[in-house]
């Protein structure tokens, strides 16, 4: 996939840190920005997925569901006691 050129503004201190890291990693500055943006987007995606999972699992049983569950456990216990292990 071909690259698209873009221009961004950075303060000088940040640009110096980016240049140093790119040199240390032996990658171009463009490659470093690509890596950083992909990492950031992945983290955002993961946070969004986590929020969706938390929402899905935040639905605790209501009183009726708790009663049904207790009743099922009691019935299960009766059945188990009748079994000859």
Helix (H) or strand (E) holding 13: helix 12-25
Say which residues have a Cβ less than 8 Å from residue 30's Cβ, sequence separation at least 6: 3
Question: What predicted TM-score, i.e. pTM, was given to this entire model?
Answer: 0.63
Residue 19: predicted pLDDT: 98
* Domain edges within the chain: 12-80
Residue 1: predicted pLDDT: 64
Say which residues have a Cβ less than 8 Å from residue 27's Cβ, sequence separation at least 6: 35
Q: pLDDT of 9-41, one tens digit each?
A: 999 999 999 999 999 999 999 999 999 999 999
Bigger pLDDT: 83 or 41? 41
Q: Kindly tell me the sign of the dihedral angle through the C-alpha atoms of 52, 55, 58, 64.
A: negative
% of residues, the chain, pLDDT over 70: 98
């Amino acid at each position: 996939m071909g690259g698209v050129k873009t221009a961004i503004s950075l303060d000088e201190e940040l640009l110096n840190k980016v240049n140093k890291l790119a040199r240390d990693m032996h990658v171009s500055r463009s490659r470093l920005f690509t890596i950083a943006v992909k990492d950031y987007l992945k983290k955002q995606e993961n946070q969004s997925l986590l929020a969706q999972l938390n929402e899905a699992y935040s639905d605790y049983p209501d009183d009726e569901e708790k009663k049904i569950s207790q009743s099922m456990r009691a019935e299960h216990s009766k059945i188990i006691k009748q079994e000859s292990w």
